[in-house]
Structure 1
């Protein structure tokens, strides 16, 4: 089994490749060839030249020596040596071309990427909402202003902490339950008040 794998993928380290990159034959440089992509898409071998010209050379969204790097492939046929246009394709460009194909392989590629996107959305929904740095900065500044005003008015520290906690909660920031520490003498006075 390893011999077949190495024959297909060479000595490519597939541990960092996605399933679609493995299927497209992406190498260690992050590229595949137009020929490998065409084979993956299971297209008619007699239409390769037309497909190559239309999807690579005449593709208005692709740039030579950025998305693809053309070369000539020489090979032996029954009638002698022949040449075939080929190109190294970046992984991104190969993925785009695979999604454009209107056959079962193209549909499989589109379904793969839709599945990845849906999985990412589900993962993000499970993560705690990261705090926008601008919001964090604004909340911190609001807390400093509140502290200065309340301190000048003689408010005790625990009241300032309560105000800051309330401001944070308005922005969806949850501070620990023990963030506000009410002094014991205040707690005693409140409990005495509740008894009477």
Structure 2
């Protein structure tokens, strides 16, 4: 029988190692195997860490079931575990696998902090709104010197603000119903500039 390959691209390495299924679940048996614990102590570990765990809730974090013993063997207890609960149990384990799990999650947290720190450095002007205002002043002054209409300058100002996460009200830019003339053109058209 050909085994179907499952897409694991959205799983973390620890979820893959725990055999987390498409429903976000693994089993106590898989977790115990992952933790490389003595098979002879499984029943005691199961009772203490799952059934008597005061921080876990039945039918929320774990779903117990019994497995039939193969070849006439004794039935044993198992449980479906949510991935989150399995991760907590792996971090509680006092052996090398538990230490690896703790280091993994500390590394993930440090990576997230670093990523957040990098994002704030990518747009330094948002930390200093005065610098955004200075940028807008430089751009609008240049546009005014080139003869741009005031509504065009305000539209560019709004676009600059949006790039830095600053929202201006929509009514900041009021486009006139007719094309505005600049002062020189007005003067020429009214005949007052004739000398």
The normalised TM-score by structure 2 is 0.64
Task: Identify unmatched segments of 5+ residues in structure 1.
Answer: 131-167, 185-196
Larger Rg computed on CA atoms: 2
Task: Identify unmatched segments of 5+ residues in structure 2.
Answer: 146-195
Q: Structure 2 vs 1, CA of residues 178 and 171 (structure 1 numbering), >3 Å: closer, same or farther?
A: closer
Deviations 1:113-141 (A, max 9, x none): 011111111111100379xxxxxxxxxxx
Residue of structure 1 in register with 2:135 after alignment: 177
> Is 1:127 aligned to residue 119 of structure 2?
yes
1:98–1:106 contact (8 Å) kept in structure 2:
yes
Residue of structure 2 in register with 1:63 after alignment: 57
Structure 1 segment 52-91 matched on structure 2, within 5 A: 52-77=46-71, 80-91=72-83
Measured on the aligned residues, the alpha-carbon RMSD in Å equals: 2.9
Distance 2:116 2:46 in 1: 39
Structure 1 segment 11-160 matched on structure 2, within 5 A: 11-77=5-71, 80-128=72-120
1:41–1:105 contact (8 Å) kept in structure 2:
yes
Deviations 1:87-117 (A, max 9, x none): 0000000000000000000000001001111
SS in 2 for 1:46: helix
Distance 1:75 1:123 in 2: 49
TM superposition shift of 1:82: 1.7
Write out the 4+ residue segments of structure 1 that deviate beyond 6 Å after TM superposition. Answer: none
Distance 2:79 2:105 in 1: 24
Query: Size of the alignment, in residue pairs?
Result: 141
1:72–1:83 contact (8 Å) kept in structure 2:
yes
Deviations 1:136-171 (A, max 9, x none): xxxxxxxxxxxxxxxxxxxxxxxxxxxxxxxx8765
